[in-house]
Amino acid sequence: MADLIHHVKNEMTGVQLERVVHVYSSHLHNPATGFNLQTMFAKMMFGLAEAILTKEPAQKASLLLQLMFESCLEKLEGLCAIQAQASASLEKLKETSEDASRFPNDAFFIEKWRPVGSAISTTDKPEDVING
């Protein structure tokens, strides 16, 4: 879908461009999708910037670009919060463990701390998840 929108973005109307920005910004915050897709959604939105500036009046174009920027900023703020929680958890585990070298890097814990769509199912044993 992203390829199709990329190829027809210059033929789209202002209303269609606005709808695409709203759809992709909502997908950007969907925790069920992986970071690779969320990155693609952000790239797709910002790839529409030139078309938005040429098709929309200046005031509406600035509102859409501001929406795109704020959407990415909110995503970044959320990632920072998850990273802080994951780092605190990792440090606590390292302090209480005798063998701190057995813990993987921070990226593993950040991915595991994601609320939905994280790597928990691929890294934990089912019985550990059930037993807490």
Q: Residues 29, 53: contact at Cβ < 8 Å?
A: no
Average model confidence (pLDDT) for the chain? 77
103 by Cβ neighbours in 10 Å (0-12 / 13-18 / 19+) ranks as middle
Q: Give the pLDDT of residue 132.
A: 41
Q: Residues 72, 44: contact at Cβ < 8 Å?
A: no
Question: Predicted confidence band at 99 (pLDDT cuts at 50, 70, 90)?
Answer: low
Angle between helices 35-47 and 14-28 (to 10 degrees): 160
Q: For residue 102, count other CB atoms closer than 10 A to its CB.
A: 9
To the question of pTM greater than 0.75 for the whole model, the response is no
Q: Give the pLDDT of residue 66.
A: 93
pLDDT in tens, 23-43: 888 888 887 777 788 888 888
CA 51 to chain centre: 23
**Which has the closest alpha carbon to 77: 117, 118, 29?**
29
